[in-house]
Amino acid sequence: CCQLPGSMASNSTPKGCGPNVDSIYYNLCSTEAAWGIVLEALAAAGIVFSFVLFISLLASLPFHKDYNRKSSVALHAFFLICTAGLFCLTFAFIVGENFSTCASRRFLFGVLFSGCFASQLMQCVRLNILARRNSGPRVWVLCLGALGLWLVEVIINTEWLIITIVPSNTTAQTSKAIAVPCDIANEDFVMALIYVMVLILAVVVASLTIMMGKHAQWKKEGACILVTSLFSVGIWVAWIVMYVYGNGKTGGPTWDDPTLAIALVANAWVFIIMYTIPDVCCLNSDDESQQDYTEDLCQNQGVGYETILKGQSSQNVYVENKAFSMDESNQDSKPVSPYSGYTGQMRNSVYQPTELALISKGVGNVSIKVIHSQKNTFEYDHSTRTHTCLLH
């Protein structure tokens, strides 16, 4: 039958590997197994990239002002941890089979994927509420929801391992029990991931309902989740068909490990490129634009306030100067006695009309005070026709 290039059919050391390298690690260094080296490089780059995004996400947390945006950081952090775990799990499928690698394959494959899709599903719940009310739920509610959805798959895989491994260890010899975790049919491996498939379909449906909301600013993040989930569905359909039907007709069991490793790396990079990077960029850009808008608004309000003050001050000076000039012309045409307005009362207890009121009524006083500032008062005396500046 057809063999995958680079499969170790003999015990001889392949090209690219040293003589002291164990045979289970040949796929990591053999130049004949090109798929192992390529996936190893992609997985290592994905681990580094996930770590950088995780640090940048936590470092930008103090700069987020909007609570609705800030509430998604915890789910993003959990999502990045599970994504980095997918990249790390790829090495378990590249190396050979032993008890530890086979147990980690069976347990962590569904657990890590369920963590990613559980966090995305809670993000969809959050965005659906925001798209309709523009006010999201509490952070601890979202975290508890994602944790609960993730623990379901943890319990399922734990029970599956206990049921399939413990009875074999009690009835079989130790040499035969070592290969028990890998000694399962491909159909059984896929059937154990039904809960993860349900989560994927739930994410697709929940992301579609986000587009029906009223507030459009939350639909960009929902579109990223929708595109990511659709690509994930395509990847899962491809590897399940190849793993269950295609490998038996083409390459046999030697194609099983590359199929699962490619599925892990491809789906993890889809998570990084199509969801994490755009979402983090949108998160930071929205905060910066909101901050710039607030600063511009404050500056515009300040300029407008100063303009109003300047306009009012100039208008008051103009009106007061105009009142002074009109009063002077009226006094020239109709002189008034200096004692005509005296009533015998104190000045503070007498109503003193303003200059505009005197102008409108046509009544003149002996002197008119025109205030040009808070400290200087100009007084015009009709008897001497002189101006006097009084300093306060």
CA separation, residue 215 to residues 211, 222, 310 (Å): 9, 12, 41
Q: Tell me the Ramachandran region of residue 344: left when phi exceeds 0, alpha when psi lies from -120 to 50, beta otherwise.
A: left
Burial class (CB in 10 A: 0-12, 13-18, 19+), 279: buried
Domains observed in the chain: 23-286 (1.20.1070.10)
Q: For residues 152 and 73, give the distance between their C-alpha atoms in angstroms, rounded to a whole number.
A: 23
What per-residue string of b and e applies to 250-274 under the rule 16 or more CB within 10 Å gives b?
ebeebbbbbbbbbbbbbbbbbbbeb
**pLDDT tens digit at each of 392 positions of the chain:** 344 444 444 457 777 787 888 888 888 888 777 888 899 999 999 999 999 999 988 888 887 777 777 878 899 999 999 999 999 999 999 998 888 888 899 999 999 999 999 999 999 999 999 888 877 788 889 999 999 999 999 999 999 888 887 665 555 454 444 456 677 888 989 999 999 999 999 999 999 999 887 777 888 888 999 999 999 999 999 999 999 988 877 767 788 899 999 999 999 999 999 999 988 877 666 544 444 434 443 444 444 444 444 545 445 444 444 444 444 444 444 555 554 554 555 554 455 556 555 565 554 444 444 444 444 444 444 454 444 444 44
pLDDT for position 66: 73
Give the per-residue pLDDT at 161. Answer: 87
Antiparallel, parallel or unpaired: β 386-391 and 367-371:
unpaired
337 φ, ψ (degrees, to nearest 5)? -65, 145
pLDDT at 164 (0 to 100) = 80
Q: What is residue 289's predicted lDDT score, i.e. its pLDDT? A: 44
- 8 Å CB contact between 273 and 219: no
Cα separation, 159 vs 151, whole angstroms: 12
Q: Is the dihedral of CA 371, 372, 377, 379 positive or negative?
A: negative
Q: Helix, strand, coil shares of the chain as percentages rounded to 5? A: 70, 5, 25
pLDDT of residue 298: 40
pTM of the model: 0.69
Using the 8-state DSSP alphabet, how is residue 1 labeled?
-
